Structure 1
């Protein structure tokens, strides 16, 4: 199998970026025990060396806020490394005294952009996303401020995450959206049915699929909720609980059967399926371990036949995932 780097265009008028990127959230957030900064740096550098140069983070990934950006910033301060990386970060979710909140107020947008520039140690952000839409602030106000930041050269391209079709259209009317970041995988294929994918294609907006491996579940590595480390947020996620876990294994097993027949891993099959949805799809799996990074990179050499794609689609349509994507606290904002 060839592992040649594939590229996808970021929106209608954007640059070509690596189709397989790297989601950095798990290096500091949500997924159990953390590793050292040096180990995290080795994974990021290995991803970039392998051509996964589309790197995704957010100002909220910590704790504390900014920790993930600062981790990456220690590498980006080297001009030779910065020149290889297309850096993406996000704003909008923040910690308050009462927990996680969302803001799209113009003054917050600008302040967070300046903080992210400092954390990342860069002069500009390649792709800046509204992480979640603040439904108490008119989206036009948020995007007028983003338009100013773009005009000032602080950001090159703009994106939005987990937005509705109406919100996407309103924001795009202010200034072009280059990318929609949204959860997408065989166990979260919603955008294919709810009109969002159709709208993005009409407007020329690329799809950046986060959690393309179903938060690791679709790799087949987990057989029981007890397999998750202490502090791993999946222990409290509805899809990973009790009977839901058992039911959702049916999807994993069905995909693994196809992967085994093809001689690839479930992760490689799944990523190949995500990227086969169209030339406007980009996938950003994340990992703390180089061995899993190499497994993901192996997906670049996987070509799915029309019959295989049809078989996977049939499985996705037939086996319905049990459980909400998030627990009650996070469900309302659709974090992370």
Structure 2
């Protein structure tokens, strides 16, 4: 009887161990299959360094339009697939913000990148809000602490690589914001911080307290304001990376938009003077010029516009948006084209002769008032 009980106990233990091993094997297979679907990044994209500390692909991916700003949000599964395709093609820098959605873009980007979190750079932003439909900035320490914890949860990560002040808050001195960013770095919640659409003087003040790794502002061959207002020269002098958002001028430099183009309901560009039918018609001058440069090099207009930005300096990193896999591939091939200094000088001379019609933000609007501070 004792021998029988012993054998029965042994049989049960063996069955339990077998079931445990089978369960572990199944879990490992699922993990392996999941990872197998995500390839190693291509070495075809060159790298650039932001602020001397954050290495990124020379072209990043702006993710806003997947969830926000350009009509209805796109399908989550399709956008997840696109983000991972970008990684497969060599993109390691992905940009989002808590206000995109709000929140839904972070909820898309985080899970999409979770399987490859240690191989990518995630940038998100804080401090821009729209209570009751009116824009406001809040970079108080209390607000930042609340925002960072919420973003970390939505992004499903323990840290954010570049945490950017979305717009300057005139009620909170930039020195206080820099102090808070330094605390977050010490706590391990962020690796570095940045500013967006800040003026040159604010960038300098922030740098004296705790140097930002990047400044993210609008920049394209058809919007060159930051070359003249001191922002880009200040970034270069201080060793701060410049992240160029809207490098295709919100779609103008795709060659697909003219006076007959119709934006989807809810598209933010409906409120911007540069994208009225009259302005789009007038701005075909810059579109045609950039297209003519591309034709000489065998490049598309978008590739030409991105290649021109990359040629401006090696601390500049454009982050074009797209929700289309074909456009993603087209954009990334911009790294295959280059310009000589003579070519750049001639392009500059011709571009300065072209009058760009329409402000990027409606004059007097909250958006217009919140840039360059």
Query: For this pair of structures, how many residues does the alignment match?
Result: 329
Aligned to 1:5: 45
Residue segments in structure 1 that go unaligned for 5+ positions in a row: none
Query: Is 2:138 the partner of 1:103?
Result: yes
CA RMSD of aligned residues (A): 1.7
Query: Is 2:349 the partner of 1:314?
Result: yes
Task: Give 1:334 shift.
Answer: 4.1
TM norm structure 1: 0.94
Q: Quick check: which one's helix share is greater?
A: 2
Q: Counterparts of 1:84-233 in structure 2 under 5 Å?
A: 84-233=119-268
Aligned to 2:75: 36
Q: 1:175–1:123: structure 2 CA closer, same or farther, 3 Å change rule?
A: same
Task: Give 1:42 shift.
Answer: 1.1
Q: Work out which structure has the larger RCO, using CA pairs closer than 8 Å and 6 or more positions apart in sequence.
A: 1
Query: Do the aligned partners of 1:48 and 1:84 also contact (CA within 8 Å) in 2?
Result: no
Residue segments in structure 2 that go unaligned for 5+ positions in a row: 1-41
C-alpha distance in 2 between matches for 1:227 and 1:307 = 38
C-alpha distance in 2 between matches for 1:98 and 1:48 = 35
What secondary structure sits across from 2:308 in the alignment?
helix
Q: List structure 1 segments (4+ residues) > 4 angstroms apart after TM superposition.
A: none
Task: Give 1:225 shift.
Answer: 5.0
Aligned to 1:48: 87
Query: Do the aligned partners of 2:243 and 2:316 also contact (CA within 8 Å) in 1?
Result: yes
What secondary structure sits across from 1:324 in the alignment?
coil
Query: Do the aligned partners of 1:89 and 1:129 also contact (CA within 8 Å) in 2?
Result: yes
Aligned to 1:66: 103
What secondary structure sits across from 1:227 in the alignment?
coil
* Structure with greater Cα Rg: 2
Aligned to 2:53: 14
C-alpha distance in 1 between matches for 2:366 and 2:193 = 28
Query: Do the aligned partners of 2:103 and 2:154 also contact (CA within 8 Å) in 1?
Result: yes
